[in-house]
Amino acid sequence: MILKEKTKRKIRTVLASTLIICLAPVFQRVRTVSGASSMAAFAGKEIVCAIDLNDQNYGAKGLETGLNYELLEKFASDNRCSVKIVAANKGTDYLDSLKNGKIDILVSREEKEMDNLLVSKELHNGIVWTVKDGSNGQMRQINNWIGHFTSSADFQSTVGRYYGSYNPLKKAEKGIRCKEVSPYDAIIKQNAKSLGWDWRMLAAVVYQESKFSIASRSPRGAVGLMQVMPHTGKHYGNEDLLNPRENIKTGTEHLKRLQNMFSKYNLSDEELIKFTLAAYNAGEGRIIDCRNFAASRNVNPDNWDEIVKLIPLMREDSILQEESVKLGKFQGYETIAYVDSVLCLYDAICEICPR
């Protein structure tokens, strides 16, 4: 039977409408992932980004650098480019580096001087991304991405992980229960398995070292979530210590090496952790000195509490005459407090996060 022309037109119209309805989500997904921009100013490139935030003076309490690190990685993924991220040292101004093309994006707060630069929409909490003047295509792509991403549920959940208090002691004191200990729980859990620890113990170490701030730096030069020294990072093949995954991986590998070192002694599981923590803080040489000194005094070298009782003697000049001690006097105050603090934090984390 030959269909009438009017019927044919109706069928074509229905088919076209159905096709549009089916393909609309696909086009929308592509539009959202690409930042709703037809521009490809960053595609295929490695972009260098600097995060210059004085976290400690703002509500995130040191975690905003970590948040923007994650957002930059998301931006790079969505816009088909790779990213190298650095954090500004105290007193360093990256505006000249931006103007000279040494970096591509500067993450900072709006109050910074921005002459001859292009500033994005506010991303969150007064934070903007800046590119050098003349990079209009890049700024359009950044603003399109910010506009789409900040209106998404993904953005809200991401930001939510970096705001609020993560202090385990305060939460335990208030009787608060929670499922998350930090924004980096997934990374901590993964690495704790290789160490054979309860992940909450490793979380206690990370909090003790940095309070979960990736921008933490010590006067001695240790950096990142687990306060890894640059030479230690190089030893384990990692120089990007700002990266949360690499920093925790490196710190965990170092803990594992120390734990393996002390595993040859007759230590209980609890004592093995204590000696590993002490060595992470003071260095294995100092803790081996402590053990050797204890053995020379007929004190049990496999019990950390007994070692602690002897450390005051290691502060005396007479310790320089001890053949069992290779590295000289050892004050030990910091290391004793460190082990006690990590164990206390672990108890608090276990209380607020049962598993």
Which architecture characterizes domain 46-160 according to CATH?
Answer: 3-Layer(aba) Sandwich (3.40)
The whole model's pTM is what?
0.86
Q: Compute the distance between CA of residue 252 and CA of residue 238 in angstroms, rounded to an integer.
A: 13
- Beta carbons of 215 and 226 less than 8 angstroms apart: no
- Beta carbons of 81 and 181 less than 8 angstroms apart: no
For residue 49, which of 117, 107, 89, 135 has the smallest C-alpha distance?
A: 107
User: Which residue intervals of the chain bear CATH 3.40.190.10?
Assistant: 46-160
Enter the tokens of residue 190. 């993964």
Q: Compute the distance between CA of residue 241 and CA of residue 232 in angstroms, rounded to an integer.
A: 10
The Cα-based distances of 221 to 51, 199, 215, 232, 307 in angstroms read 19, 26, 12, 11, 28
CATH label, 168-352, candidates 3.40.50.720, 3.40.50.300, 1.10.530.10, 2.30.110.10: 1.10.530.10
User: Which residue intervals of the chain bear CATH 1.10.530.10?
Assistant: 168-352
- The count of other CB atoms within 10 Å of the CB of residue 352 is 22
Q: What is the pLDDT along the chain (355 residues), one digit of tens a residue?
A: 444 565 556 556 555 555 544 544 444 444 444 344 445 789 999 999 999 987 654 444 569 999 999 999 999 999 999 999 998 777 677 888 888 889 999 999 876 666 778 999 999 888 999 998 877 889 999 999 999 999 999 999 999 999 878 999 999 999 999 999 999 999 999 999 999 999 999 999 999 999 999 999 999 999 999 999 999 999 999 989 999 999 999 999 999 999 999 999 989 999 999 999 999 999 999 999 999 999 999 999 999 999 999 999 999 999 999 999 999 999 999 999 999 999 999 999 999 998 7
Q: Using DSSP, state whether 22 is helix, strand or coil.
A: helix
For residue 286, which of 266, 245, 264, 315 has the smallest C-alpha distance?
A: 315
